[in-house]
Amino acid sequence: MKSCLEFFDRLQWIDGRPLTSILEPYRRDLFVRFFDERRDDGQLKYNLGLFGRGKKNWKSADLVLGALWALLEPTPGRHEVLLVAFDEDQAATDLDLLKQIVRANPTLAKGLTIQQNTILRNDDRGFAKVLPGQSTLGEHGRTFRFLGIDEIHGQKNWDLLEALQPDPTRDNGQVWITSYASLFHKPGVPLFDLTQMGRAGTDPRMLFAWYAADYCTDSEFAHLDPELRANPSIASWPEGRAYLEQQKRRLPAHKFRRLHLNLPGLPEGSAFQPEPVMNAVARGTGVRVPEPGVTYTGFNDHSGGSDDDATLCIGHLDTDGRAVLDRVMNQGQQPPFDPWTAVERFATVLKEYGCTSVMGDKYAGETFRVAFEKQGITYHVSPLTKSQLYEAMAPHLNSHRISLLDVPEVEQQLLGLVWRGGKIDHAGGEHDDWSNAVAGCVHVLLGNKAAPFLFRSGGVTIGGLAQRLSEAVGSAVDSVTGTVGAAANAISKTMSPPPVRPAAVPTRKRSFEEMEHMMRQDLTPDELERFDKECQRRWARRQPGPLDAHVRKYGCYWPEDGPPAADPHDLGAVMEAVRQKFALWR
């Protein structure tokens, strides 16, 4: 019995089924590669394994089975096995599963003694011990045959792994780490660092097996849609994909994406919240083919080819005035690549969508303008920086005016953007080439249109704005109804809009986006009523949180050089700011 699969073939699962009947092919392959593959010198090929996939995909079970093989494999020497979990409940669960497997197999039970926190070999040649993560710092210097670390995603630093480094004098020591994505997605966090190492392929003795919505190491799953990539054992679930739909309804979006899509938590200082971004994605739609009669627009974020991707995004406006993305792509070949060849590739696709021009950032405009023009594409340089493009995109995401493609790189990069020095940028060691092209395309399509609930001379009345601000901070108003309500009414009465002249009856019903760009006196009474109701509805759907940055940037209550922003949760301060703005506007 030299193979781990031969060992498993002799065992039963805890419900009496043959153990190998519950091992899908991809899991069998991982066991064989980790435990059986050897180098030319006869030593184990891998001494470190990082295995990541979504929740309920047999991660802990596989760790326990690996520990059982390491404890009982028919090789000389001692077989010390340590299982580490990061809370007592998880540690107890792993130990309980190991005990159940032993009890389900009488041949194993004869050679093992089960104790409270340990399982001993009766020949005194080894043991399996389960430790809560907080207890491991006292294990410095311990030698082991197998170290299994269950769910490392909660670890913020390397203290635990430093305390449990393999003994260099042993040629068979192995570390098996299993987890879904981390809450703490930044350099210095063990799971982040190990994942980056695995993706780079810089450690030949590390087996990296990662199944996530945005990245998959297994070619059998990499072409599937994101939910199936992250959940390779979905076929073993009684309800199959219906379970994911259930969890999607029950969990907040950011938790669902981490637990069931194996996507990392948001970094500190995140520029975008997950719900608006994820809700904007048209799931299952990676490309929209060109359609006759549709006008398309493109944005290019080019690159010199050494490290970053060159990207192109193409989109159009639908009949509701939403920015709909149709194509997001890169240069094809991974960096390094020839940037001039990328220009040819992008120009070909732009022509497929009927685009004769494209907009891009200043670097690309100065460097590659002539190259695009040689391909018959006029290149316009964007007047905005990438941070300004991201800031302009935020209110449109929050007001559901964008339809993103289901391209993992776009979603992941948007959710990885952070505020750095007063600007939106990618975190250190990451990229934003795909998200930058998307933000640029959205800006070209929607321009400087403010989110519908913001004040503008052709938009809502001051009284209407005061009403919506009052609704947004309803809990605060409830506590001070008498004083604040009276103040709001008094202010609103002093802010009558300019006299409304009779408007011509339109020949057709105008859309909200059309009315948004008109002066109020040019709207009919019915249109005014419909416009204000829609403004109230969109305001009510606004994402909660401070308004200052968005209000100051997009249309707002006061100009950049006007009074300082008010706390949107202090209605008195907001009303005073509105009063000053009204005086300036009048």
3-state secondary structure 398-411: HCCCEEEECCHHHH
Q: Is residue 230 part of a domain?
A: yes
Are residue 296 and residue 435 in the same domain, yes or no?
yes
Q: Is residue 138 part of a domain?
A: yes
Which burial class, exposed, middle or buried, applies to 583 when counting CB atoms under 10 A from its CB (0-12, 13-18, 19+)? exposed
Are residue 307 and residue 384 in the same domain, yes or no?
yes
Q: Is residue 516 part of a domain?
A: yes
Are residue 539 and residue 558 in the same domain, yes or no?
yes
Distance CA 81, CA 67 (A): 6
336 preceded by a cis bond (ω within 30 of 0): yes
Q: Calculate the CA 512 to chain-centre distance.
A: 32
Are residue 335 and residue 413 in the same domain, yes or no?
yes
Residue 288's CATH number: 3.30.420.240
User: Sorting pLDDT into bands at 50, 70 and 90, what band is 477?
Assistant: very low
Helix (H, G, I), strand (E, B) or coil at 528: helix
Q: Is residue 269 part of a domain?
A: no
HSE-up (13 A, CA, CB side) for residue 22: 17
For residue range 288-346, what is the model confidence (pLDDT) as tens digits? 999 999 999 999 998 887 778 899 999 999 999 999 999 999 988 888 888 889 999 99
Are residue 432 and residue 338 in the same domain, yes or no?
yes
Are residue 472 and residue 580 in the same domain, yes or no?
yes
Distance CA 129, CA 413 (A): 41
What pLDDT, on the 0 to 100 scale, is given for residue 272? 86
Q: Which domain holds residue 550?
A: 462-585
What pLDDT, on the 0 to 100 scale, is given for residue 88? 67
Residue 378 forms beta bridges with which residues? 357
Total structural domains in the chain?
A: 4
Helix (H, G, I), strand (E, B) or coil at 426: strand
Helix (H, G, I), strand (E, B) or coil at 267: coil
Provide the edge-to-edge strand list for the sheet that holds 357-360.
Answer: 281-282, 402-405, 323-330, 311-317, 297-301, 357-360, 378-381
Q: Which of 332-336, 357-361, 463-467, 539-543 has the highest mean pLDDT?
A: 357-361
Are residue 343 and residue 205 in the same domain, yes or no?
no
Q: Is residue 347 part of a domain?
A: yes
Are residue 437 and residue 488 in the same domain, yes or no?
no
Are residue 398 and residue 318 in the same domain, yes or no?
yes
Looking at the predicted structure, is the pLDDT value of residue 555 above 50?
no
Are residue 196 and residue 229 in the same domain, yes or no?
yes
For residue range 418-439, what is the model confidence (pLDDT) as tens digits? 888 889 998 777 789 999 999 9
